[in-house]
Amino acid sequence: MLSGLLQANDKNNFLAFLLEATFAYQFEASGLQLQYEVKQSPDNASSIDFLLETASKTRVYFELRLLQQDAETAEAIAEQLEISGAYAISKDGAAEQRDILRLQSTILGKIQKKDGIPIKFLKSNADTINLVVICVSDIILEMADPEDCRLAMYGDRAVRPEARRDVVGMFQDIDLAQRPDWQPLSDKFKHAQKTLHGVLFLFRDELSEFPNWSLRSYLVWNWKLLNEEEANAVAQKVLSAVPLEKS
């Protein structure tokens, strides 16, 4: 991991390795040892970023991703900064909806191909917990919050009316008898609902500065795959290393 960080040849690659290094450091500093680049079975073609084995023999897998500002917004900000040294950008509900849908697509892209064929998290045993870990500090004009996380995973019904964006959540129960038009979404989310136990959303602490990031987190669980007792046991470990997002 450190070799990749030192040899990174572009900004995005460097930031991705920096996120991995910061995540690993916070676990190590909390006395929790992570294994790097592991496979759930020898015949898997693709490895998973990190594995935490708990004292109770539960194997917690973490697959990381850094999600940056969308290209259109980033270009607009860069252009304004070059011209005037300042920028002013706002997003309406439709633009925020696009960010949430992009967030969902990014999470799915970590575990399956565009055609839905699974590539990671092929096991969902009783002693296995699968988590996608995604840093969202840069989206929605660096104003993403836990409510956006719940919206992405549980849909409109999980958030305040004013925060709803006509979004179907990845972990949401879909009643196809009532909404047959949601069949494509049901198919799209099928692998995630069967194998992904939750998503660990990361936020960079507002007081930390690049490159010395400090990460905070918010966990959203897939209650189809685990109960509250199981979730709390894992959360206790994770939150000791990556504390709960203050908002």
| pLDDT tens figures, 184-206 | 999 999 999 999 999 999 999 88
**Using an 8 Å Cβ cutoff, are 187 and 213 in contact?**
no
Question: What is the pLDDT at residue 91?
Answer: 56
Rounded Cα distance between 15 and 200, Å, is 18
83 has pLDDT over 70: no
**Using an 8 Å Cβ cutoff, are 205 and 216 in contact?**
yes
Global pTM value: 0.89
**Using an 8 Å Cβ cutoff, are 183 and 176 in contact?**
yes
Average pLDDT over residues 34-59: 91
15 has pLDDT over 60: yes
When mean pLDDT is compared over 55-69, 86-100, 121-135, 148-162, the highest value belongs to 148-162
Residue with tokens 């708990």: 54
**Using an 8 Å Cβ cutoff, are 174 and 104 in contact?**
no
Closest residue by Cα to residue 73 from 10, 139, 8 = 139
Question: What is the pLDDT at residue 174?
Answer: 92
Burial category of 52 from C-beta neighbours within 10 Å (exposed 0-12, middle 13-18, buried 19 and up): buried
Question: What is the pLDDT at residue 121?
Answer: 92
Of 31-40, 44-53, 120-129, 167-176, which gets the smallest average pLDDT?
Answer: 120-129
Question: What is the pLDDT at residue 187?
Answer: 95
Closest residue by Cα to residue 241 from 28, 2, 1 = 28
